[in-house]
Amino acid sequence: MADLEGHFDRTIARDQRIEPRDWMPDGYRATMVRQIAQHAHSEIIGMQPEGEWITRAPSLRRKAILLAKVQDEAGHGLYLYSAAETLGADRAELTDKLIEGRQKYSSIFNYPTLGYADVGVIGWLVDGAAICNQVPLCRSSYGPYARAMIRICKEESFHQRQGYELLLTMMKGTADQRAMVQDAVDRWWWPSLMMFGPPDDASPNTARSMAWKIKRHTNDELRQRFVDMTVPQAAVLGVTLPDPELRWNPERGHHDFGAIDWSELQRVISGDGPCNAERLARRRAAHEDGAWVREAAAAHARKAAARAAREPQEVAG
Amino acid sequence: MSPERATEHPAAAAAAEPGNAYEALNEGDDPRWAYGTGFADPLAGVDTRVPSGVDAADLAGYCLMLGDDALVMSHRLQEWCTRAPELEEEVALANIALDLLGQARLLLSRAGAAEGAGRDEDALAYLRDPGGFRNVRLVEAENGDFGHAMARLLVFAAWRLALLDRLAGSRDPVLAAVAAKGVKEVAYHRDYAAGWVVRLGDGTAYSRERMAAGLAAVWPLVPELFARHEVEARLAAAGVAADPAGLRAEFDQVLDQVLTAATLARPPERPGPVRAAGRAGEHTPALATLLAELQSVARAHPGAAW
């Protein structure tokens, strides 16, 4: 036992990967399952706010881009659930935990999308914040998660650029469109900053997660990085970020920004955001409405296997 | 997955945007990471002039028919997004919807070019009223359950594959190129739907009931697929279009094979002549509702740039 633990500790210390069949502490396993499952849930719930706009996309090119993006999110969910399964979790159980409200997903998806500019702003700010959070996870100590994150980050960066490109196009359009973009930025800016989680002094699990190299930077470090990279992008776009205290601080070499309303984050996390009930209800309905389909597929597979066993030379459909 | 994937992405050009702080992620930037949003231009090197002896208005009308079929069917599949029974089905249905949207874009663009009135794919998709749409009624019917979706997709894909297969030899080089690309995609759509029809038909007692109900709901719309509109008749005679009446034998053969494996009976068909109603712009109220949604944002912002 001491030897197994020693091996685990040395692997972490050498910055090498923990793989599915390696011994790991129960706490590490549980933390990884929870983190990967919440990430998978976020991808799946995250399909909803933008998915609303696929059928209404204002050009066929935008429709194709958005449909492909939402499809990517389903794909991300799939391989994240697979990564969780390498730790002994079961996708069906994780889905049950999600729809019963026993496991969380990113609070950002509990805000509504009120217009097509929201699609662009989600790409720019929400995917941008997600990238800041997720790029360090490509070096996560758990191998399957780290490898999944490399592919996910590449796709997210693509989505981020597509969102930004939509906003650039809209800002060159009508006055009406520019107002739509600014309105969406006003609504999504603060929730995007909250995506990095509570401030470091209120984030109890950060120290252990950093020691295990599950997490590489603190919430506040990542939030600062996001603000610093977003400010010049907002200037190019010609929008105002809704924070009168936002300004460059030459001494720190970073932007200062105003205080975040943490009570709002707490409210949304605890289930009282604008769309929490609606998001879970949609996911639950899809799961329940699809139960007979999944049961049929399993029943058919059993029949086909039984037929194949009776007549081994015949391949059953 | 479709054998052919996007190889060129429209937003790839945005990579060089000023202020982009994510350069670190651009490791070669394989465009397959965002599926289906661009084309390996299937019309590269294709002669896009209207072939001699072909009526341009007929050609435009025919491209609208096939383009509208794809556009409206894609819309019905898009409506499944976040509602599919399993994540694998989310991915597959979106994939099929993307393929059909890609076909629609090429065909509507061809229709606009042949028409010569300056209408592009978006003008045709967003600024026509229901009476201007030329799709078959099969694709506009409202969604039902997953059994209904698979019944419709099987019928649609089996019919369209037979059609595109013949169209690959069209005298119009553009239609031939679009069809050659589409054959590979729709072959996958047909296999996907057939797999589910068999699983649901030969699954549980309940799924068998749902699958049979889905087929029964879709079947009254089948005969129209093989009715010949005058534009199709003229263009088929000119070697440009596929004669819809000539597709029935292949369709029946495929459906019989799938339904046998699914242990389901083919629903009865009402005898007698059937008009190409959708092709003539005669639609059910379902299309008006669908278009009201599809066109809502585009029409709310005249003069906007997207």
User: For all residues of chain B together, what is the average pLDDT?
Assistant: 89
Chain A residues within 8 A of B75 when measuring between CB atoms: 55
Among candidates A53, A70, A158 on the partner chain, residue whose Cβ is nearest the Cβ of B94: A70
Dump the DSSP string for A222-254.
HHHHHHHHHHHHHHHHT---S-TT-EEETTTTE
Top-confidence residue, A261 or A311: A261
Does the structure show a pLDDT above 80 at A293? yes
**The total number of structural domains that make up chain B:** 1
Does the structure show a pLDDT above 80 at B2? no
Per the CB < 8 A criterion, the answer to whether A118 and A310 are in contact is no
CATH of the domain at B202: 1.20.1260.10
Is residue B34 one of the residues assigned to a domain?
no
Identify the H or E element spanning B253: helix B248-261
Q: Which residue in chain A has the smallest CA separation from B296?
A: A56
Q: What is the predicted pLDDT for the residue at B12?
A: 38
Q: What is the predicted pLDDT for the residue at A205?
A: 77
For a pLDDT cut of 90, what percent of chain A falls above it?
A: 87
Does the structure show a pLDDT above 50 at B18? no
Please indicate whether, in this complex, the C-beta atoms of A55 and B79 are within 8 angstroms of each other. Answer: yes
What pTM does this model have?
A: 0.92
Q: Which residue in chain A has the smallest CA separation from B290?
A: A55
Q: What is the predicted pLDDT for the residue at B17?
A: 37
Q: Which residue in chain B has the smallest CA separation from A167?
A: B306
The stretch A258-278 carries a mean pLDDT of: 93
Q: What is the DSSP letter of A272?
A: I
Q: What is the predicted pLDDT for the residue at A312?
A: 62
In tens, the pLDDT along A9-22 reads 999 999 999 999 99
Q: What is the predicted pLDDT for the residue at A213?
A: 81
Is residue B17 one of the residues assigned to a domain?
no
CA distance from start to end of chain B: 29
Q: What is the predicted pLDDT for the residue at A204?
A: 76
Does the structure show a pLDDT above 90 at B77? yes
Q: Decide: helix, strand or coil at residue B52.
A: coil
Does the structure show a pLDDT above 50 at B121? yes
Please indicate whether, in this complex, the C-beta atoms of B14 and A162 are within 8 angstroms of each other. Answer: yes
Residues of A165-185 as b/e, b for ≥16 C-beta within 10 angstroms? bbbbbbbebeeebbebbbbbb
Bridge partners (DSSP) of residue A247 are A256
Q: Which residue in chain B has the smallest CA separation from A115?
A: B297
Chain A residues within 8 A of B206 when measuring between CB atoms: 292, 295-296
Q: What is the predicted pLDDT for the residue at A208?
A: 82
Chain A residues within 8 A of B197 when measuring between CB atoms: none
Chain B residues within 8 A of A51 when measuring between CB atoms: 81-82
Please indicate whether, in this complex, the C-beta atoms of A151 and B33 are within 8 angstroms of each other. Answer: yes
Q: Which residue in chain B has the smallest CA separation from A295?
A: B204
- When mean pLDDT is compared across A46-55, A229-238, B41-50, B170-179, the lowest value belongs to B41-50
For a pLDDT cut of 90, what percent of chain B falls above it?
A: 81
Please indicate whether, in this complex, the C-beta atoms of A69 and B34 are within 8 angstroms of each other. Answer: yes
Please indicate whether, in this complex, the C-beta atoms of A177 and B202 are within 8 angstroms of each other. Answer: no
pLDDT confidence tier of residue B273, bands split at 50, 70 and 90: confident
User: For all residues of chain A together, what is the average pLDDT?
Assistant: 94
- When mean pLDDT is compared across A261-275, B80-94, B287-301, the lowest value belongs to A261-275
Q: Which residue in chain B has the smallest CA separation from A71?
A: B91
Is residue B211 one of the residues assigned to a domain?
yes
Is residue B47 one of the residues assigned to a domain?
no
Does the structure show a pLDDT above 60 at B35? no
CB atoms within 10 A of CB A46: 24
Mutation test of the interface with chain A: which of B37, B127, B142, choosing the one with the most A Cβ atoms within 10 A?
B37
Gap from A78 CA to chain B (nearest CA, Å):
7
Is residue B262 one of the residues assigned to a domain?
yes
Among candidates B29, B101, B210 on the partner chain, residue whose Cβ is nearest the Cβ of A63: B101
Full residue range of the structural domain in which residue B110 is found: 55-297
Does the structure show a pLDDT above 60 at A250? yes
- When mean pLDDT is compared across A167-181, A266-280, B77-91, B207-221, the lowest value belongs to A266-280
Contacts of residue B71, defined as CB under 8 A and 6 or more positions apart, other chains included, come to: A60, B100, B101, B104, B108, B125, B135
Per the CB < 8 A criterion, the answer to whether B203 and A289 are in contact is no
pLDDT confidence tier of residue B41, bands split at 50, 70 and 90: low
Q: How many interchain CB pairs under 8 A, A with B?
A: 219
Q: What is the predicted pLDDT for the residue at B22?
A: 40
Top-confidence residue, B33 or B130: B130
Q: What is the predicted pLDDT for the residue at B23?
A: 43
Please indicate whether, in this complex, the C-beta atoms of B86 and A48 are within 8 angstroms of each other. Answer: no
In tens, the pLDDT along A187-201 reads 999 999 999 999 988
Q: What is the predicted pLDDT for the residue at B20?
A: 36
Is residue B280 one of the residues assigned to a domain?
yes
CA distance from start to end of chain A: 48
Among candidates B37, B91, B294 on the partner chain, residue whose Cβ is nearest the Cβ of A75: B91
The stretch B23-44 carries a mean pLDDT of: 47
Does the structure show a pLDDT above 90 at A209? no
